[in-house]
Structure 1
Amino acid sequence: MEQTSDDAGRNSGIDLLRGFSILLVVLHHIGLRIPLKKTLLADVLPGSLLRALNFNGYEAVFIFFVISGFLITRHALRRDGALARIDLRGFYVRRFSRIVPCLLLLVAVLSVLHGLGADDYVIKREGQSLPRAIVAALGFHLNWYEGVTGYLPGNWDVLWSLSIEEVFYLGFPLVCLLTRRTWILVPMLIVLALSLPWTRAALAGNEIWQEKAYLPGMSAIATGVLGALLARRWNRMSGGMVWLLGAVGVMGLYLVMVEGAWLWHLVHNGYMLVLTGASLCLVLASHGAATSEGHRPWRGVGWLRSWGRLSYEIYLTHMFVVFAVVRLHRAVEVDPAFGFLWYLPALPLCWLLGRWVERYVSTPAERWLRERMLARRAVPVAATA
């Protein structure tokens, strides 16, 4: 990413967008179990705002997909000069070292908890089993497995998005090397990006598969890839263009996340294109702002940027905190009107667990693997997607 004054190698605007997205994911998973609309907040805050806070976790994952496509493509362009010259081995090593250590740790912990019979962690749905769930998680088809057999426990379920992302990145560098021409690759990406409403509509017969199938998620990733290719040609933006893209992006996210019911009646599955398009506008605005002279990150939101920097670790681990807090909430039997108070410890605990995993697992493992598998001194890992 472009260097910024606050944290070399990172883009503060994109970190902010990632922080916003992972926060929505956590709020969604708490809200499914302790909905804000049943608390005292419903007497003082608009219902549309409470719904937006509790029920946009799925949409937030698609923002992540767009960001992922943008960042990983941009890193590849900076390292290799062109997608047609992408370093296949280096690309896969970087993905492996970033994704696999935390994934293996998570699967191991979940397997132990299943074996101990811990509530919220036992795989007990008919047609499902622990060995098959492990294969699905490590084989990047957990989304397909859930579509066939039903939902897995929450800590397993979050891996559906990882399945989509990693299958895309297994094939993406191969397609780049095979096409070898941007004028061939770009139309393919455009078709994939614009297919999102139709691929979702075609899967309406299976609710899980409609949400978690490969093609809709890959459409969002393709949108991010196109954004990175555009940013390379459009390396400098005027301040006016940055503000215009930012305004369009914010308005698009508002329509999807706050006025979602109205937007659905208007365009149905087309609302997902509004979401990915708005996300791309914000990513491009962040890119443009970072390349402008005198750019300074917004003050007062450093905490949210820190959520963005830890988004992968928080995403994989937050359900441990959610389940613990919800269990305690139900055991104490406090008036549901005060349910919003349980969010106060849950959110910092999610951040702390993610920070612990980042410090002691993901960053050391990523650095160690890159140093050995790339046969050279590892680059700083703070800017990885």
Structure 2
Amino acid sequence: MRAIGIILAGGNNNKMRELSSKRAIAAMPIAGCYRSIDFSLSNMSNSHIQKVAVLTQYNAKSLNEHLSSSKWWDFGRKQGGLFVFTPTITVDNSWWFRGTADAIYQNLSFLKNSHEPYVVIASGDGIYKLDFNKVLEYHISKKADVTVVCKDMPSNEDVSRFGVLKMNEDARIEEFDEKPMVAKSNTISTGIYVIRRRQLIELIERCAGEDRHDFVKDILIRYKNLKRIYGYKIKDYWSNISTVESYFKTNMDFLKPEIRDYFFRQYPDIYSKVDDLPPAKYNPGADVKNSLISSGCIINGQVENSIVFKKVFVGNNCVIKNSIILNDVYLGDNIHIENCIVESRDTIRANSYHCGEDGIKIVVEKNERYVL
């Protein structure tokens, strides 16, 4: 493909509460065995983008470990590859990334040393499938300066946490409001953009010269009347996991057969780093209904309408309903968990009761594991 990829995966987000205290949003576990960033990386690999840069910053340890080898997404070739860029103190700069545009500016040499004419920019917290070749063809046919991938949301959906836009009959964007208090439209930006490489370099350098740092506010919104900015609508599944509620809902969507079929059985595939773990083990007394159980798990109790990630031990007489159990959790005997997200590497004491009464409860316990 005639494009390089940039994945923005460095932002902090307090809407994820305790879940983002030790990992980046792009490293959040999804659907049992994936990470959020796997979807953007897989889409770029499936679109034959050979060269991808991931810009990380906040709590990047887990994300960097996940990206330690590019072979899982088939980027490990002689041409191109997967590059991970973190903030670096240099002679000219001692700042952390101050925004999305500044993150690109601090790694502008990646763009200048590339030869592909176009750039695909995506966020690391989107769950979707997309052929970027079709977006690029649309971008070229419209003779656009920037193409924004957008989606019509249901009328009852709160879109105030997204960029909301309006297009004319020719799909050119006329209005663009970032996280408005009152939305005038239900068409949102998915945080995916296509732009010509030289154009991006020019705009980013201009932003830096004016001490501006945000790609959406200081480029898309500021230049919407000066540049030809078009919208490309997608109709298939797309979700963003930037809040606890949206993260919970997105994972629960994978309990629906049509969503699992779309992501797991229909071409192209979604790829992730593979752990060598045994298949899940169901001991006598285990009762599992409408749930995703990952490899390395040992189930003794009852699991219903839940997603259990890798290496989880569920003790005797446990009841887990409508919950997400993250990686490497030990649940003692006689535990009841309902409407909860249990943080990874937790040890929940026997005879505990956790239930989200007024929303999703996040359970964080760091008890010692005693071997009898």
TM-score of Structure 1 vs Structure 2, range by shorter chain: under 0.3
- TM-score, normalisation: structure 1: 0.27
Q: Which protein is richer in strand relative to its size?
A: 2
Q: Which protein is richer in helix relative to its size?
A: 1
State the structure with more CA Rg: 2
Higher relative contact order (CA 8 A, sep 6+): 1
- TM-score, normalisation: structure 2: 0.27
